[in-house]
Amino acid sequence: MDDVVWHNGKALRKGYTTGSCATAAAKVAALMLLRQQVIDNVSIVTPSGVTLNLNVELPLISPGEATAAIRKDGGDDVDATDGMLIFARVRLRSDPAICIDGGDGVGRVTRNGLGLDIGQAAINKTPRHTIETAVREAIGPGRGADVEIFAPEGEARARNTYNARLGILGGISIIGTSGIVTPMSEESWKKSLSLELGMKRADGMDRVILVPGNHGERFVAEQLQIDASYVVTMSNFVGYMLKEAERLGFRQILMVGHFGKLVKVAAGIFHTHSHIADGRLETLIAWLALCDAPHALMHQVADCVSTEEAMALIDAAGWQRVYPAIAARVAERMAELLRFSSRPPRCDALLFSFDQQVLGSSRPVAALTEAFR
């Protein structure tokens, strides 16, 4: 396969998912159990059609069961599970069923909205299917097997993931839709954020507060005095998370964030990472012009290197009225993005400063926050 992807002029090596590791480990364990001999290498076909030839580690065989491990390799997309061993233990059954469960280091689902039942091991649908298919290929149609996926380092590694916030406790998730990890891919990150939205909707919530990150979460809790359960991080994926919230049926979306981040949305920029687009100062200057600010102030802002520097000039000149105007425009842009929805949600925005003070909002703050109390 083409095992590299180009990003910013660099060739980055692809890897494979925990789901591929679990599938390969289960397949080779099943083969070793039937043959009663150690196998050092195993091949699987991923859901994306790529064939992987993987080295087997720590094989162990007894008359009743076999265990094998595959080491996760995320390529140049290093994550919390990179380099860890994913194990499978296989035992034959007296019936033709294949039963898959998680053991030590594989998390358990404790909340609705993940597409898995509460109490079930956090092994997603695609890996479950590939594991079952691979084991069936190894043991044939007439036999059944109990397959246990485990990861001794899983509980410690999971502390560096979103799992606890998603209600997955006790370990990592066995995930992967394609079986291949593409370096610099944002898809898995976006999906984990969307999962949190889905769980809140499954819990009956129809209002949500989207924030770019930790500063927004802290502002909502400390300054707005709103329960953190309403808050979901959107990172830089503003447009994606707005569309996901609409798809899931949220009736009210309040976006809360630092001015320097959300001013981009006022310009219709729905992916706010600087490598995608910036335009912060240009947008600010345009709105100062619409608010009839002096040309001298706009020229000063144009020479600034950050929004914080520009805000200090604006505050000193007494033109804070620009902030509510920009907040209102952010809310309008949110609504415009979702304008083709059959049931568009109410969209609002609130901007705050670096020192955690409200700068402006699309409606009075009390009106925005009333529904969340």
Let me know: does 202 contact 46? Beta carbons within 8 Å.
no
For residue 338, report the phi and psi dihedrals to the nearest 5 degrees: -105, 20
What number of other Cβ atoms are within 10 A of residue 229's Cβ?
12
Residue 187 has pLDDT above 50, yes or no: yes
Per-residue pLDDT, 10: 63
> 207-236: per-residue pLDDT in tens?
999 999 888 988 999 999 999 999 999 989
Per-residue pLDDT, 291: 96
Contacts of 300 (CB under 8 A, 6+ apart): 313
Answer with the residue of higher pLDDT: 74 or 294.
Answer: 294
Residue 260 has pLDDT above 60, yes or no: yes
Q: Residues 94-112: what's their mean pLDDT? A: 94
Q: Residues 140-164: what's their mean pLDDT? A: 94
Structure tokens at 248: 């899931």
What are the start-end ranges of the H helices in the chain?
A: 18-35, 125-139, 154-157, 187-202, 214-222, 238-248, 259-266, 280-290, 295-302, 307-317, 322-337, 365-369
Q: Which domains, from first to last, does the chain contain?
A: 4-181 (3.30.2110.10), 187-372 (no CATH)
Q: Residues 93-111: what's their mean pLDDT? A: 95
Residue 237 has pLDDT above 90, yes or no: yes
Lowest-confidence region among 65-79, 98-112, 176-190, 212-226: 176-190
Residue 239 has pLDDT above 80, yes or no: yes
Per-residue pLDDT, 355: 85
- What is the rounded distance in angstroms from the CA atom of residue 11 to the CA atom of residue 5? 6
Question: Which of the four pLDDT bands, split at 50, 70 and 90, describes residue 33?
Answer: very high
Residue 268 has pLDDT above 90, yes or no: yes
Contacts of 78 (CB under 8 A, 6+ apart): none
Under DSSP, the state recorded for 106 is B
Q: Residues 248-273: what's their mean pLDDT? A: 95
- Quickly list DSSP for 40-84: -EEEEE-TTS-EEEEE-EEEEE-SSEEEEEEE---TTS--TTTT-
Per-residue pLDDT, 112: 79
Per-residue pLDDT, 1: 42
- What is the rounded distance in angstroms from the CA atom of residue 234 to the CA atom of residue 195? 11
- What is the rounded distance in angstroms from the CA atom of residue 364 to the CA atom of residue 180? 48
Structure tokens at 152: 């001794």
Question: Which of the four pLDDT bands, split at 50, 70 and 90, describes residue 23?
Answer: very high
> Above pLDDT 90, what percent of the chain?
73
> 114-143: per-residue pLDDT in tens?
778 999 999 999 999 999 999 999 999 999
Question: Which of the four pLDDT bands, split at 50, 70 and 90, describes residue 48?
Answer: confident
Determine the Cα angle at 335 with ends 332 and 340, to 5°: 140
Let me know: does 130 contact 100? Beta carbons within 8 Å.
no
Contacts of 365 (CB under 8 A, 6+ apart): 224, 350, 358
Residue 12 has pLDDT above 70, yes or no: no
Under DSSP, the state recorded for 249 is T
